[in-house]
Amino acid sequence: MALFPSFVVLVVLCSFLLSVDASDGDTDLIYKGCVEQCEKSGCVGDRCFQHCKFSSDGKPIDGPWYMHEPLYLEWKQWDCRTDCRYHCMLAREEERTKLGETPVKYHGKWPFRRIYGIQEPVAVALSALNLAMQFHGWVSFFILVYYKLPLRPDKKAYYEYTGLWHIYGILSMNAWLWSAVFHSRAVDLTEKLNYSSAVALLGFSLILAILRAFNVRDEATRVMVSAPLVAFVTTHIMYLNFYELNYGLNMKVSMLMAVVQLLIWAIWAGVSSHPARWKLWTVVVGGVVAMILETYDFPPYMGYVDAHAVWNAANIPLTFLWWSYIRDDAEFRTSALLKKVK
């Protein structure tokens, strides 16, 4: 049941890994000349930027202290260079469109148009919707196990994996939160938070897949199974944050965890008699189709909607179905346990 988030995280990491390669726009002489001229003059065409009077660290080249960068620009880390790159990119793409040429990437990204300083507004909105869907799924699961299904005499749920799914829900919401923040503004901090939260979700999904597929219910056994994986994922996250953000290594680690749990769930779905296993297969097939859409990596339509945005949109109904499967599993296991009690 943790297979769907594996697809989610893996596609995010794959798409970002592809974007860090050198881009055609970076070597365009007209674009480079525009950026160099803008950093000297502070203007691109008729548009001029007041904060180009300052260095990239916000220190004034001339003028008094009250002429510093506005706080909202400092928070977003928009400075003279980033604004020059952005507006030179738009100007160059307008020229390429008039010449009948296709868009190219600049600094590893397609030429997106900002809205109120947000780099990829559609991706941010869809990430927020996915966050809302995860929240809805988690709350509906909470209401089911604690208010609709019978409880034990000690007021605990019969479903043995309740606590694990609560953790999964929190990690999922956290991952989509930082996905939205990262698409809002890609800087070193938001990039690391996005990667770390994604890897944490992927690692926990692997643990959950093992525990559920092999029906591990004993707490001591759960700790023995989970401890090595928790240590491995924690070490990997610390390596990415405090030593080197190695995209290649991170991709290998993420691919390994995804493939392992894919095999676990594929085998489990084949041998299980779970009444709602068709939902699992639907999510798996839907996830594969969504990944295929992602691989096209087409330039953003009207500067806003690209393949990744389409993939984000596809995740919304899949997330709804995923949590529906989790609720069905809770009902299935609770019913089985109540029969044993009677």
Walk me through the domains of the chain, giving residue ranges and CATH numbers.
Answer: 24-99 (no CATH), 118-339 (1.20.1070)
Among 114, 124, 120, 118, smallest CA distance to 180 is for: 124
Q: pLDDT at residue 64 above 70?
A: no
Q: What is the mean pLDDT of residues 248-261?
A: 84
Rounded distance between C-alpha atoms, residue 4 and residue 47, angstroms: 46
Task: Compute the Cα dihedral for 313, 318, 324, 329 and give only its sign.
Answer: negative
pTM attached to this predicted model: 0.83
- By the 10 Å C-beta count (0-12 exposed, 13-18 middle, 19+ buried), 216 is classed as middle
Q: Is 113 helix (H, G, I), strand (E, B) or coil?
A: coil
Q: What is the DSSP letter of 144?
A: I
Share of the chain above pLDDT 70, in %: 84
- Span 46-60, pLDDT tens digits: 888 776 765 545 454
The tokens of 305 are what? Answer: 């909607």
Write out pLDDT tens, residues 186-230: 888 888 999 899 899 999 999 999 999 899 989 999 999 999 999
How many angstroms separate the CA atoms of 94 and 226, rounded?
53
pLDDT at 65: 39
Cβ atoms of 112 and 164 within 8 Å: the answer is no
148-to-142, 212, 324, 338, 342 alpha-carbon distances in Å: 9, 22, 15, 14, 19
**Overall average pLDDT of the 128-133 stretch:** 96
pLDDT of residue 14: 53
pLDDT category of residue 63 using cuts at 50, 70 and 90 = very low
- pLDDT for 9: 53
What is the C-alpha separation between 190 and 195, in angstroms, rounded? 9
Average pLDDT over residues 241-261: 85
Name the pLDDT band for 100 (thresholds 50, 70, 90): confident
The confidence score (pLDDT) of residue 66 equals 42
Rounded percentage of the chain residues whose pLDDT exceeds 90? 34
